[in-house]
């Protein structure tokens, strides 16, 4: 059997299936079919950047493995990227390399963490990165394949296969791919990239480490405080409280961002409000066995645990009210999605304990 792919070329479907099965049998996939890659096709990717193919982008020392520009390009091709996506893929890897968790073991974590990339600047339009609807879903080749290129690199270069070096207990769907663009055009505020020192004509890739994405249905109010408290309730859910403090990325739809801005709120105003209100009664934490901390890890555990110690709130004037954010900057904010309904998202960002003031890593995208 053959399949006609143009008016002059036919491809043997059995050969296609044989190639796909070969990649699968060698565990070079994420469970979905990949694009077979030849040296000539790989060369098209490498031609889009002025980087040495042997340049190392990211190393996991305890695995004694590194990804180079060539390997990043190879996995981008496997993932179904177009060659012109490679500068974004490289910037994504350079952002991964800035992730400071000890020994980079976060990529093998039992908690199921995954890379989540936010893209700013002109490159969004140049390669059609979706920022305006179904942003966490399907439908855009660049969003789907750029994130997949990183995942395939983690599998093929670092050996992070499920039931092997990837020790995620359950994982989450973003372990396939998670890439969105910021909807800068419909944001009432400076973009994430501008906010953090980049220029308007810079294309920027920012990598987060995430565990989950929770959607907030909020079409009921025009009072900014009520909407902000809806976000606080999700940020402070006890199931999200792993360490003494938590961090979050708010992905606001234009409708919600405009509501805050029309009420005179800046991003800093929203951060400050969430910081001040992100508290729980110690009784709430005790009911789920999270009222104390581990001496060794500062992870939450019951007060009667042999490794327990008091948390920071215990030494304040209000020991029964536990603050769950260490600083307002543990709330980062971008605008993305369509303006057709009040549905925003709280993205659970996995950070150091205590979190850094800025729990992300940004990289300028360059050829």
Answer whether residue 2 shows pLDDT above 70: no
Instruction: Let me know if residue 20 belongs to a domain.
Output: no
Instruction: Let me know if residue 200 belongs to a domain.
Output: yes
pLDDT in tens, 288-334: 999 999 999 889 999 999 999 999 999 999 999 999 999 998 999 99
Among 315, 296, 317, 291, smallest CA distance to 307 is for 296
Q: Which two tokens stand for residue 315?
A: 């030494």
DSSP code of 299? B
Instruction: Let me know if residue 22 belongs to a domain.
Output: no
Instruction: Let me know if residue 257 belongs to a domain.
Output: yes
Print the domain residue range for 175. Answer: 34-278+324-364
All residues at 6 or more sequence positions from 12 whose CB lies less than 8 Å from its CB, including other chains: 1, 2, 3
CB atoms within 10 A of CB 151: 20
Instruction: Let me know if residue 6 belongs to a domain.
Output: no
Per-residue pLDDT averaged across 214-219, rounded?
93
Q: Which two tokens stand for residue 174?
A: 């973003």
Among 235, 189, 195, smallest CA distance to 212 is for 235
Place of tokens 């908690």: 111
Q: The pTM is what?
A: 0.94
pLDDT in tens, 229-256: 999 999 999 999 999 999 999 999 999 9
Instruction: Let me know if residue 112 belongs to a domain.
Output: yes
Answer whether residue 135 shows pLDDT above 50: yes
Answer whether residue 99 shows pLDDT above 80: no
Answer whether residue 127 shows pLDDT above 70: yes
Domain count, the chain: 1
Mean pLDDT of the chain: 92
- The pLDDT score that the predictor gives to residue 98 is 86
Q: DSSP per residue over 3-66, as a string?
A: EE-SSS-EEEHHHHHHHHHHHHHTT-SSSS------HHHHHHHHTTS-S-TT-EEEEEGGGTEE
Instruction: Let me know if residue 55 belongs to a domain.
Output: yes
Among 334, 333, 312, 329, smallest CA distance to 321 is for 312
Q: Which two tokens stand for residue 288?
A: 């789920």
């Amino acid at each position: 059997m053959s399949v006609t792919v143009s008016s002059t070329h036919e491809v043997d479907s059995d050969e296609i299936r044989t190639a796909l099965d070969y990649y699968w049998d060698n565990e070079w996939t994420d469970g979905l079919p990949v694009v077979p890659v030849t040296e000539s096709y790989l060369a098209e990717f490498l031609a889009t950047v002025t980087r040495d193919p042997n340049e190392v982008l990211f190393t996991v020392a305890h695995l004694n493995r590194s990804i180079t520009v060539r390997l990043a390009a190879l996995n981008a091709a496997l993932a179904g990227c177009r060659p012109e996506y490679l500068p974004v893929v490289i910037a994504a890897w350079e952002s991964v390399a800035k992730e400071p968790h000890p020994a980079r073991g976060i990529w093998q974590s039992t908690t199921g963490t995954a890379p989540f990339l936010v893209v700013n600047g002109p490159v969004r339009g140049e390669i059609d990165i979706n920022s305006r609807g179904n942003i966490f879903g399907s439908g855009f080749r660049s969003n789907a394949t750029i994130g997949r290129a990183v995942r395939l690199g983690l599998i093929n270069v670092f050996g992070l296969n499920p039931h092997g070096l990837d020790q995620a207990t359950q994982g989450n769907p973003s372990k396939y791919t998670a890439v969105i663009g910021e909807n800068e055009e419909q944001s009432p505020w400076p973009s994430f990239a501008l906010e953090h020192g980049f220029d308007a004509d810079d294309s920027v890739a920012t990598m987060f480490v995430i565990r989950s994405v929770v959607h907030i249905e909020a079409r009921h109010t025009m009072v900014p405080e009520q909407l902000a408290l809806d976000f606080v309730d999700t940020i402070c859910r006890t199931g999200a409280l792993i360490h003494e403090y938590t961090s979050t990325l708010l992905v606001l739809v234009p409708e919600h961002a405009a509501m805050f801005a029309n009420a005179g709120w800046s991003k800093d105003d929203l951060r400050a409000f969430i910081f001040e209100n992100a508290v729980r009664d110690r009784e709430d934490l005790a009911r789920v066995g999270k009222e104390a901390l581990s001496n060794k890890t500062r992870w939450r555990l019951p007060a009667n645990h042999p490794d327990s110690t008091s948390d920071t709130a215990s030494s304040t004037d209000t020991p029964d009210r536990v603050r769950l954010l260490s600083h307002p900057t543990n709330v980062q904010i971008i605008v993305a999605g369509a303006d057709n309904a009040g549905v925003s998202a709280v993205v659970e960002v996995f950070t150091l304990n205590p979190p850094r003031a800025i729990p992300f890593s940004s990289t300028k995208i360059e050829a």
